[in-house]
Amino acid sequence: MHIHIYNTPQLLGEAAAKMIAKLLNRAILERGEARLLLSTGASQFEMFEALRGQIIDWRCVEMFHLDEYLGLPESHPASFRKYLKERFIAHVPLKAVHLVDGEGDIAETLARLNHEISKKPIDVGVIGIGENGHIAFNDPPADFETDEPYIVVTLDERCRRQQVGEGWFASFDEVPAQAVSMSVRQILKSAHIVSVVPHAVKAQAVRDTLTRPVSPEIPASILKTHADWNLFLDSASAQEIIA
């Protein structure tokens, strides 16, 4: 585990983007290709802006993403497919893109995603941490046991309120109760994990993740068991761990 602390979300995002680029370029140099796993949300804005400007042969990069709400159309402002297309996919010529579609035949979607992601390892997983300590939409108590790569999960109240607080939905009742999410065990299969976690609202989750035992009640705590986890914080999100 390596912790990096910067004064602002912008500096954090730039530093994280440089590390992601370094890891992707290393994989491309070694194998001629790389697989990238991306998270979304307000906490990732600065990282995406910086990542688009990195020197990477994106034609060699295959992209997956973590999660999507069940039943939410892509046209909705909160759709993660919409988010990724507008903030990332439209700007770089990726080799392939595997988006999570929360509409239509969910069983078929899960089967397709599980098949594709199981072909080769993920080189870099960009994994945020939620206000409730979740990773992807694995809210507490998270399932640490399932081997299925993508699963259907139920969102807890704090997670849904976070989505309202970030402005993605006008009210709590508008937030879908379920989502398709990459599982915890699949996330941990990433060769390298980079967590981008700015803002004061994440300070408690950061403290709990780092100081409390690994537990499904703090899903992000399991990242401490990963062989190469880099956690990027700003001064606000790090305020409860700095003596």
Using CA atoms, how far residue 100 sits from 8, 17, 28, 156, 185, in Å, is: 31, 23, 25, 20, 18
The reply to whether 240 falls in a domain is no
Tell whether the model's pLDDT for residue 144 goes beyond 70: yes
Band of pLDDT at residue 115, cut at 50, 70 and 90: very high
The mean pLDDT of 171-192, rounded to a whole number, is 95
Distance CA 194, CA 187 (A): 11
- The H or E element containing residue 3 is strand 2-6
Of 88, 122, 84, 129, the closest CA to residue 222 belongs to: 129
Tell whether 242 is covered by a domain.
no
In a domain, 169, yes or no: yes
Residue 187, pLDDT above cutoff 80: yes
The domain in which residue 48 lies consists of: 2-234
241 is a domain residue: no
Q: Tell me whether residue 162 is in a domain.
A: yes
In a domain, 62, yes or no: yes
- Asked if residue 72 belongs to a domain, the reply is yes
120 within domain boundaries: yes
Report the number of distinct structural domains present in the chain: 1
Share of the chain above pLDDT 70, in %: 100
- The Cα 152–Cα 212 span in angstroms is 27
Does the pLDDT value for residue 243 go beyond 80?
Answer: no
Does the pLDDT at position 108 exceed 80?
Answer: yes
Q: Which residue has the tokens 């300590």?
A: 133
pLDDT tens, position by position, 39-69? 998 899 999 999 999 999 999 999 999 999 9
> Cα(10)–Cα(46) distance, rounded to whole angstroms?
5
3-state secondary structure of 62: strand
Confidence band (pLDDT; 50, 70, 90) for 168? Answer: confident
Distance CA 123, CA 24 (A): 7
d(CA 69, CA 103): 9
Strand partners, 43: none
CATH number of 216's domain: 3.40.50.1360
Reported confidence tier of residue 207, pLDDT bands at 50, 70, 90: very high
* Tens-place pLDDT, residues 81-90: 999 999 999 9
Beta carbons of 173 and 157 less than 8 angstroms apart: no
Stretch 83-110: mean pLDDT: 95
Alpha carbon distance 141, 218 (integer Å): 7
Is the pLDDT confidence value at 161 over 90?
Answer: no
φ, ψ for residue 144, nearest 5 deg: -90, 0
